[in-house]
Chains A and B, each alone.
Chain A
Amino acid sequence: MLDRLSEKLESIFKKLRGRGVLNEADIDAALKEVRLALLEADVHFKVVKDFLTAIRQKAVGQEVRESLTPGQQVVKIVWEELRRLMGGDLSDGKPLLSPHPPTIVMLVGLQGSGKTTTAAKLAYRFKQEGRRITLAAADPRRPAAVDQLVALGRQIGVETQTLPANDAVGVCREAVARARDRYDDLVILDTAGRLHVDEALMAELKSIKAELKPHEILLVADAMTGQDAVQMAERFHRDVGLTGIILTKLDGDARGGAVLSIRAVTGIPVKFIGIGEKPEALEPFHPDRMASRILGMGDVLSLIERAEEVFSNDQAEAAARQWQTTAFSFEDFRDQIRNVRKMGSLGNLLGMLPGAGRLMQGVSNPEFPERELTRIEAIIGSMTVQERRQPGVIDGGRRKRIAGGSGTTAQEVNRLLKQFLQTKKLMKTLSRSPGRSGLANLLRSL
C-alpha cells in the first residue's frame, strides 16, 4: 500500500522538483491519496477529516529536506502525526500493578471481539513473569463461555472462578476474595460481550465496576472493526470509563484503522495487541509500527527486533565464525533453519517487509517457503552423521537413499546440496561484518 501511496505521491510531486517548498495545491493533491489510504484502512471519516486538516497546516510552507523527496516528506509528516495520535513513543505494555495486590483488571467489549482468549493471554503473560493470577468467568450468558475460560485456564495452569453460576457480579466478588486469600498479584475479570446498545449489559458492567473498583478497565476491540468503532468506544468509555485498549486479531490483513478512531474518541492508551489464537500471541503495542501498518508501510522494526530476540549476540557471532570455517556442516545449516523458523512463519516475516505485501499477492501459496524448509529439514534428517559433516561423500546411491528416507526425489536432494554450497559461499562474504550488526545490516538492506 505504501508503495502505491508513495508512488502516487511521487508522481504528484514530480513537477515540484527543484522548487523546494511544499505549496498548498500540491499538498492537497497528495492528501487526497492519503485520505483514500486512511479510509481504506477503516479510519472513521470524521477522524480522517480532522487529521488531514492538521496535516495540511503542518505541511504547508515546510521546506523539503535535501535528503527527502517531496512525496517522502509528506509521508513522513503523515506518519509522525499518526504515531503521535496513537501515543507517540509510548509503548506501555502492561497494566500498572497496584501496590496493594491483587490488581483487578476488567475486560469489556463487544461479543466476538476476543475477550475470553485475551483474558487467557494476559494471564499467561503475567504468569511467565512469575505472577500469581486468578481468572473470573463472568459471562454466564453465552453458551459455554465459562467452559471456554476454564479450559484455557487449565492449559496455562491458572485457576478460574466460576461460581456462583448465573451471577456475574458474584463471580467477580468471589474471584477477588479468593485472590486476596491466596495473595495473588492479579485478578482478570472476563465479562459478557454484548452490543453496546444493550442497556442490561451496561448496567451489569457498571455494577461490577462499582463493587470491585477495578484498577484497569480494558476495552477489547477487534482490529477489523469499521466505522462503528467510534460509537462503540464512545459508549463503553462513557458508561464504564476505560483505562486502556487491547487490539485483537491483528494477525489477519486488517490495516486496523479503527484503533485511530478509538484513540480519537477516548484518548486512552493501547496496551497490547493480539496476533493469534495461542496464549503467547499477545504483544505490547508500538505506535510507530501501527502507524506504518495503517499506511501499509510494512513493519521492518518488528522484524529486526524479532531477529535480535532469536539470535543472541554470542550465538550470532558463533554462527558467523562457523560460516567462515570450512567445517560448516549440514548440522549447522539445520540449526540455522530452526533459528529462522523460531522467528515465526515466513509468511508473517515477509509481511513485515515493505513492499512484500504486493509481492506475496502474486504467490498462490504464501506459505510455500515454509513447506520448502520442512522438506529441507526432512532431507537433512535422512542423512547419516557422516554425510551431514562431509557432504562430499554423498554419491548416487546415498542420494537415492536420502530421497527415499525423506519422501523427496533425488533431484531435490541434489538441489539442496547445490544450495548448501552456494549458501556457504554467500555467508562467507556476509560474515565479514560479524555478529548481530551483520544480521541487522542484512535485514535493513532488504
Chain B
Amino acid sequence: MFQRLGQALSKTRQRLKAGIEDLILGKKTIDADLIERLEGILLGADLGVRTVQRLLATLHDRLDRRERPDPSRLNTFLKTELLTLLEKKPGRFNAAAAVPFVVMMVGVNGVGKTTTIGKLAHRFKGEGKAVLLVAGDTFRAAAIEQLEVWGQRVHCPVVKHQSGSDPSAVIFDGLSAAKARGMDVVIVDTAGRMHTKFNLMEELKKMKRVMDKALPGSPHETLLILDATTGQNALSQAGRFHEAIGVTGVVLTKLDGTAKGGVVVPITEELGIPVKWVGLGEGMEDLEDFSARDFVEGLFGD
C-alpha cells in the first residue's frame, strides 16, 4: 500500500542513509563533528532549525546519560523521536461520518489544490461513493476549466458559476445540489491565496460560514494543501489558515521530487495538525494515505 511512497522516497532514503551510515562508520563515540553533520542532514530535509535544535538537544541529554554512547543508536533514536511527534495526532479520515461529507480545500497559490481534488475524487469514486465537485475558485483564469477537465476524467459532476462571481454563492449552490441529488461526498475547491492577505482570508471565513448555513456542520474536513518543496514558510501558512478557519488536516503534495517535506514535523508538533494524505505525481492514482511510520522509515531506511 505504501510502496509508492517508499519508491518516491527511495532517493531521499539512499542519500540520508548514506549520510547517516557515513557518519556512523568508523566512529566509536559521538563527537561534535558527528553532531554537526547530523544537523546538516536534518536541516537539509526542511525540518527547520528550531525543530532540529530541539531534536539534537534531546539526543544530547539522553545519550549523555549512557556510559558509552553508541553512534549506531542515533538512527533508532531519531526515528523514534520523529515517529512520536508525527503520531501524536492520528491522520484518520472518515468520509462516512456525514452524508453528504463535505471537504474544503485551501492553500496558497500553486500548491496543487485542483490536482489533489481530482485525485481525492477518484479515490472516493473507487470506494463506490457519489462525488460532487464545486468550482469555488472563481478568481484565477481557467481554474474552473481545469476542475472541469478533472471532473470529466474521474466522472464527477461539477457545480460552477461564472468566472469572477462570488465563490460563496457557488458553494451554497453546490452544497444544496449535493443534498438534493443525494451525493455522498462534496469536494470544494477554493482560489489559492497568500495567507498574509487579510481580505482573502476573510473571504475564506465567509465561505465556511455559508457552508455551515447550507449544510449545518459542514465542512467536515478542511484540508490545507502544502507543497513539499516549501520551506519554513509552510509553518506560517499553516498557522494563518488554521487561525482563520481551523484546518483539520494537511495534504503534502509533490513528494515525488527531491524535496522531503520535513516542515510537516514542526507543523504537527507546534500546531497539532496531522498530515492526512501525500501526493506523489500527476496521475489520478498518485495519492496515498499518510503513514508516519512509512514517512520516517522512508526518510531513514532500515
Q: In the bound complex, what is the Cα–Cα distance between A253 and B241 (angstroms)?
A: 13
User: Which residues from B are CB-within-8-Å of A224?
Assistant: 108, 227, 230-231, 233-234
A347 nearest in chain B by CB position: B198
Q: Provided the pairs A45-B43, A227-B231 are in contact, do residues A144 and B257 lie with their beta carbons within 8 angstroms?
A: no
B208: min CB distance to chain A, Å: 18
**Minimum Cβ distance to chain A for residue B268 (Å):** 16
Assembly CA distance A277 to B145 (angstroms): 19
What are 13 A-to-B residue pairs whose CB atoms are below 8 Å? A111-B112, A112-B112, A112-B227, A114-B110, A143-B145, A145-B146, A147-B146, A195-B257, A196-B258, A227-B260, A251-B194, A254-B233, A367-B199
Decide: A231 and B258 in contact? CB cutoff 8 A: yes
Bound Cα distance A39, B43 (Å): 8
Q: A252–B233 contact, CB under 8 A?
A: yes
Residue B141 is within 8 A (CB to CB) of chain A in the complex? yes
Q: Which residue of A lies closest to B195 (CB)?
A: A252
Q: Is A113 an interface residue (CB 8 A)?
A: yes
**B44 and A227 within 8 A (CB):** yes
A36 part of interface (Cβ distance < 8 Å):
yes
A350 to chain B, nearest CB (A): 12
Which of the four size classes fits the interface of chain A? 35 or more
Which residues of the other chain, A, contact B256 by a CB distance below 8 angstroms? 195, 197
Q: A42-B231, A222-B229, A225-B229 are in contact. Are A252 and B196 (CB under 8 A)?
A: yes
Count of B interface residues, CB-CB < 8 Å: 50
Interface string of B141-182 (1 = CB under 8 A from A): 111011011100000000000010000000000000000000
Q: Which residues from chain A contact B234 at a C-beta distance below 8 Å? A: 224, 226
**Residue contact B231 to A258, C-beta cutoff 8 Å:** yes
A133–B145 Cα distance when bound, in Å, is: 25
- What 0/1 pattern do residues 20 to 51 of A give for CB contact below 8 A with B? 00000000000000001001111011100000
A39-B49, A365-B198 known; A253 vs B110 contact (CB < 8 Å):
no
Q: Is B45 at the interface (CB under 8 A from chain A)?
A: yes
- In the complex, whether B263 has a CB less than 8 A from a CB of chain A is yes
CA A227 to CA B199, docked complex, whole Å? 31
Given contact pairs A40-B232, A224-B227, a sample of 20 additional A-B residue pairs in the complex whose CB atoms are under 8 Å apart: A40-B50, A112-B110, A112-B254, A144-B148, A145-B146, A148-B142, A149-B141, A151-B163, A197-B257, A222-B110, A224-B233, A225-B231, A226-B234, A227-B259, A228-B259, A252-B196, A254-B231, A254-B233, A277-B109, A277-B139
Main secondary structure of the interface of A (DSSP, over half): loop
The answer to whether A222 and B230 have CB atoms under 8 Å apart is yes
Known contacts: A39-B49, A151-B142, A252-B196. The answer to whether A143 contacts B150 by CB under 8 A is yes
Report the separation of the CA atoms of residues A367 and B140 in the bound assembly, to the nearest whole angstrom: 23
How many Å lie between the Cα of A252 and that of B198 in the bound state? 11
Q: Shortest beta-carbon distance, B204 to chain A, in Å?
A: 14
User: Considering the complex, which residues of chain A in the window 184-230 have a beta carbon less than 8 Å from any beta carbon of chain B?
Assistant: 195-197, 222, 224-229
**Bound complex: CA of A45 vs CA of B52, how far in Å?**
12
Residue picked from A143, A196, A222, most chain B C-beta under 10 Å: A143
Cβ of B236 under 8 Å from chain A: yes
Asked if residues A226 and B112 are in contact (CB atoms below 8 Å), the reply is no
Task: Flag if B254 contacts A195 (CB, 8 Å).
Answer: yes
> Which residues 345-398 of A sit at the B interface, judged by CB distance below 8 A?
347, 365-367
**Cβ of A44: which chain B residues have Cβ within 8 Å of it?**
44
Q: Which residues of B contact A149 (CB under 8 A)?
A: 141
Chain A residues with CB under 8 A of B110:
111-114, 222, 249
B101-128 to A contact mask, C-beta < 8 Å, 1/0: 0000000111110100000000000000
Is the C-beta of A5 less than 8 angstroms from some C-beta in chain B? no
B40 at the interface (CB under 8 A from A): yes
Residues from chain B with a CB closer than 8 A to the CB of A152 are: 141
Tell me which residues across on chain A come within 8 A of B189, comparing CB atoms: none
A110 to B259 CA separation, bound complex (whole angstroms): 12
Closest to A37 in B: B49
Q: Does A232 contact B (CB under 8 A)?
A: yes
